[in-house]
Structure 1
Amino acid sequence: MSTELDERVGSTLAGRFRLLRVLGQGGTGTVYEARQHGLSRHVAVKVLHAHIATSPGAVARFQREAMLMARLHHPGAVHVYDFGEDKGALFLAMEHVHGETLEAVTFREGSLPVSVAVDVAAQVLEVLEAAHALGIVHRDLKPPNVMLTGELSSPRAKVLDFGLAQVVDGALQARITASGLVHGTPAYMSPEQCRGERVDARADLYSLGCLLHELITGQPPFGTTPAAEVMSGHLYRPPPPLRQLRPQLDIPRALEALVLDCLAKRPEQRPENAQVVRLRLLRALSPSITLSQVSRGEGKKKERPAPAPQSLALDVPPELPVGVIDAGAPPGSMGVGTALASVGFRVVPCTEADTRLGDILALVIFPAPGSDALELARRVVSTPQAPPVLLCGEDDLTVMTRAIESGIYDYIPLPLDPLELCRKVARALRAHR
């Protein structure tokens, strides 16, 4: 431990945080346990390294990112209480989490049981969903930045250091040529990070793929050293499949496929967002889970029954016509047209050969069994001045993803939920207007 670290312990930062002891040190700074005056609570204070704090534009970047991090309110993200500058030192005051980093756990335990690895990754993805919705990209997702609390058989994950990568980027750019380093940890860096390019949320999905690969197999996809060889793997080599590395484990093919999709070299080849990854991840272990069951923050539930017809109260402008191709509703169920009409939509029955699309402002397709609904929807979408198209279909993530990628406005999984249907149609009408 350096003299600088020894001198800080026992001192008071910014007049309100008394630094008690060092909790850890990393590439961006040193973390102390501290007591906050006035509130009498123990917090974790991260003081950024001097070379970061004095780099051009560092203070402005730090303030911007710290304000964003303070807006991230999620039980799986460490909450930021305060931030500031004291005698040239930039600091963050955060929730003090008692637990073990994922790095320490895997160092002791090695690879984790597949079910535990998936559970941890799913919790991390929940946090990524919330962060990405605010425009926050982690940029340095790795085992030391995930804290586990509780029993290993049923852990709770906390994600650390959100947003700090953006703060240190400017400070490290000058060091890239001299030291051969780029910001981030090579074992978990996306190809675009390796090239020094601007990154978006899909870089975090790549890092999540590396993390999950290590949790299951015991090592990141391209190892950890030497850095140049690791980065070359990210850029040019295909990642080794999980089942090839651990043939003795019963790894679902769907799980292996998901990890490989996250590790695609180009961002546009990866899954669309963190929510899609989380849903695929949970379905890989429990195929009976349906898309509508796993909304943000929910756990696994039993298969939902088909909803019974009900009276739905929505404020629906009656002058807005909705086209319906309703060929596949099962007998005795509330059909699409009936559900929409019951809340006041003006329903216009259509057929697959109908060309009156200019008369409607949205189109719902409930295809007949055995028909190629996706192809029909694609044809409609490609029609000039086509309205938003909503497709009803089986509760299958692959089909849903293909539909959205084809330009379908929204996908409605079966069994049909009339309330969900009406809400999505209302949303489509608002978008079209």
Structure 2
Amino acid sequence: MRLVPGQVVAGRFQIVRALGEGGMGVVHEAEQLGLGRRVALKVMHPHVASTPGFVERFHREAQVLARLRHPGSVEVYDFGADEELLFIAMALVSGESLEAVLLREGVLSVPRAVGLAVQVLEVLGAAHALGIVHRDLKPANLFLESHPEGERVKVLDFGLATLSESWHTRITQVGTAVGTPGFMSPEQMRGGLVDGRSDLYALGCVLHELLTGSPPFPVGPSVEVSAAHLYRPVPSLREARPDLSFPARLESAVMRAMEKLPTARPVDAAAMREELLAVLAEPVSGAPPARRGEGKKTGRPTPREVAPPGPVVGSAPVAVLSERTDAGARLVESLTTCGFQARFVGAAEPLLGFGALLVIAEGRASLARARELAARPDVPPVLVCGPAEDWELVTGALEGGVFDFIPLPPDPRDLTRKVSRAQKLKRQGSLPPPLPGAGPSGRGPGPTGR
């Protein structure tokens, strides 16, 4: 049902005009009759509102959202139903989105980008304290308002992604992702339970775009972007923009926010905020940001050469399994260069003494073999290796529950980080339980490299 100007919802909200439409519903500017107040009225799509259990969850979550009172959040005025219409009325904000700013200006200066992120973290801290997780932080959902003391950030659609969980659960069962792939955390990609640290990952992605002009992984098909967030190392700020200079403390804070494992990120929004405040306390030098009108970068400069990581000491040996001895030998050589004890193994060889098993997948049969091995309790964590551009292979590994995916040829830092993490879990005997949607093997905790 389309609402038209002049139509009244629930006897008290008169539609003025449509402002925008998303997957959950349509946002209208409306006048609250009697009070003469302009509001943003979000009306849920009928197919969303009719999902079993959604109405009850909507009312519960809207009550929680109404308790979120922060200058950086959008105040909820009212919510309810009008026959088949389900609506929520919120404060009407003015200004422009960070997405529009990026399109116009290209990148932001370090103080400006970090200052805006600090404001977002203050809102996240208040929301997380109420158990509200945004789940869809991105530049389009961050609005800038003019204020006598400077720019103020408003976080839009706060909690509405959480409200949609019951609806999205049904959708994701047939393979559709929740949220915006370019800014989603690995655990959210997998359909697992998320907490406030998922929002910190998204904010790290936002900061990456504010500072470099591009998100961590370039825009492309959803499956490719999703697989990159799950398995590929996140490019550092310097790798993405070697022509710019970034404080080391800022680089560390952004990369830590985008760690694949939630436990490796800051413990909460307050901790990340303190890290960024420490950046603001330091003098900033470096090249200025893109000039106004330059626009967002469409390509990535060639990354700087980075020295390989140091050797790993005291770890269990690594096994390499491949149908081709030449490919296996090259991977063994790469592992040895990174300091691992590694050797080629046969298909029937016992694997109990190894700390990790790397399987070179050169087809569907070898991928299936890797997934079978990952399900066995006598096999160490299994990492599948293959071409990064083979997205069918990447997603097959993703869905099969293997520990991780290593693109070939391997990046030394990525190889060291992922294999070391697998060995550590093997030594501790702390391989986690299967993740939701991981398939019967379900061994992996998700991707482990940055």
TM-score, length of structure 2 as denominator length: 0.61
Counterparts of 1:152 and 1:103, CA distance in 2: 22
The residue type equivalent to 1:189 in the other structure is M
Corresponding residue of 2:21: 25
| Aligned counterpart in structure 2 of residue 141 of structure 1, from 124, 137, 146 | 137
- Residue by residue over 1:255-292, the C-alpha shift from the partner in whole angstroms, topping out at 9 and shown as x without a partner, is 0111110111111110011011011112113149xxxx
| Aligned counterpart in structure 1 of residue 188 of structure 2, from 185, 189, 193 | 193
Q: CA deviation at 1:155?
A: 1.6
User: 1:328-367 counterparts in 2 under 5 A?
Assistant: none
Q: Secondary structure at the match of 1:265?
A: coil
Distance 1:152 1:194, change over 3 A: farther
Counterparts of 1:125 and 1:160, CA distance in 2: 14
Corresponding residue of 2:166: 170
Corresponding residue of 1:116: 112
The answer to whether the aligner puts 1:231 opposite 2:226 as a matched pair is yes
Corresponding residue of 1:63: 59
The residue type equivalent to 1:248 in the other structure is D
- Residue by residue over 1:209-239, the C-alpha shift from the partner in whole angstroms, topping out at 9 and shown as x without a partner, is 0111111111111123211011111111110
Corresponding residue of 2:32: 36
Corresponding residue of 1:72: 68
Q: CA deviation at 1:8?
A: 3.3
Q: Secondary structure at the match of 2:164?
A: helix
Higher mean Cα deviation, 244-253 or 45-54?
244-253
Corresponding residue of 1:83: 79
Q: Is the 8 A contact 2:146 2:152 kept in 1?
A: yes
The residue type equivalent to 2:116 in the other structure is V
Corresponding residue of 2:10: 14
Corresponding residue of 1:283: 278
Which protein is bigger by CA-based radius of gyration?
Answer: 1
Higher relative contact order, chain-length normalized (CA < 8 Å, sep 6+): 2
Corresponding residue of 2:96: 100
Specify every segment of 5 or more residues in structure 1 that has no aligned partner in the other structure, as ranges. 289-433
User: 1:248-397 counterparts in 2 under 5 A?
Assistant: 248-287=243-282
Distance 1:285 1:249, change over 3 A: farther
Corresponding residue of 2:42: 46
Counterparts of 1:77 and 1:24, CA distance in 2: 19
| Aligned counterpart in structure 2 of residue 212 of structure 1, from 186, 189, 207 | 207
Q: Is the 8 A contact 2:200 2:269 kept in 1?
A: yes
Counterparts of 2:177 and 2:268, CA distance in 1: 25
Q: Secondary structure at the match of 2:74?
A: coil
Q: Is the 8 A contact 1:116 1:153 kept in 2?
A: no
Q: Is the 8 A contact 1:255 1:284 kept in 2?
A: yes
Q: Is the 8 A contact 1:81 1:94 kept in 2?
A: yes
Q: CA deviation at 1:153?
A: 11
Q: CA deviation at 1:27?
A: 2.0
Corresponding residue of 1:158: 154
Q: Secondary structure at the match of 2:90?
A: strand
The residue type equivalent to 2:70 in the other structure is H
The residue type equivalent to 1:247 in the other structure is P
- Residue by residue over 1:328-376, the C-alpha shift from the partner in whole angstroms, topping out at 9 and shown as x without a partner, is xxxxxxxxxxxxxxxxxxxxxxxxxxxxxxxxxxxxxxxxxxxxxxxxx
Q: CA deviation at 1:172?
A: 2.5
The residue type equivalent to 1:145 in the other structure is N
Q: CA deviation at 1:144?
A: 1.4
What is the root-mean-square deviation of aligned Cα atoms in Å? Answer: 1.7
Counterparts of 1:106 and 1:277, CA distance in 2: 23
Q: Is the 8 A contact 1:186 1:224 kept in 2?
A: no
- Residue by residue over 1:27-62, the C-alpha shift from the partner in whole angstroms, topping out at 9 and shown as x without a partner, is 221111110011111111111122210111110111
The residue type equivalent to 1:164 in the other structure is L
The residue type equivalent to 2:32 in the other structure is Q
Counterparts of 1:49 and 1:152, CA distance in 2: 38
Counterparts of 2:226 and 2:191, CA distance in 1: 12
- Residue by residue over 1:138-181, the C-alpha shift from the partner in whole angstroms, topping out at 9 and shown as x without a partner, is 11111111111128994210001111112212223333354x42
Q: Secondary structure at the match of 1:8?
A: coil
Q: Secondary structure at the match of 1:63?
A: helix
The residue type equivalent to 2:176 in the other structure is L
The residue type equivalent to 1:86 in the other structure is D
Q: Secondary structure at the match of 1:158?
A: strand
Counterparts of 2:53 and 2:281, CA distance in 1: 48
Q: Is the 8 A contact 1:73 1:79 kept in 2?
A: yes
Tell me the matched-pair count. 283
Q: Secondary structure at the match of 1:251?
A: coil
Counterparts of 2:4 and 2:46, CA distance in 1: 13
Counterparts of 2:127 and 2:221, CA distance in 1: 31
The residue type equivalent to 2:172 in the other structure is I
Counterparts of 2:176 and 2:102, CA distance in 1: 25
The residue type equivalent to 2:104 in the other structure is R
Corresponding residue of 2:236: 241
The residue type equivalent to 2:77 in the other structure is Y
Runs of 4+ in 1 over 6 A off after TM superposition: none
Corresponding residue of 2:323: none
Q: Is the 8 A contact 1:69 1:80 kept in 2?
A: yes
Corresponding residue of 1:386: none
* Identical pairs, percent: 54
Corresponding residue of 1:128: 124
- Residue by residue over 1:89-121, the C-alpha shift from the partner in whole angstroms, topping out at 9 and shown as x without a partner, is 211100000111111221222221221111111
Q: Is the 8 A contact 1:126 1:275 kept in 2?
A: yes
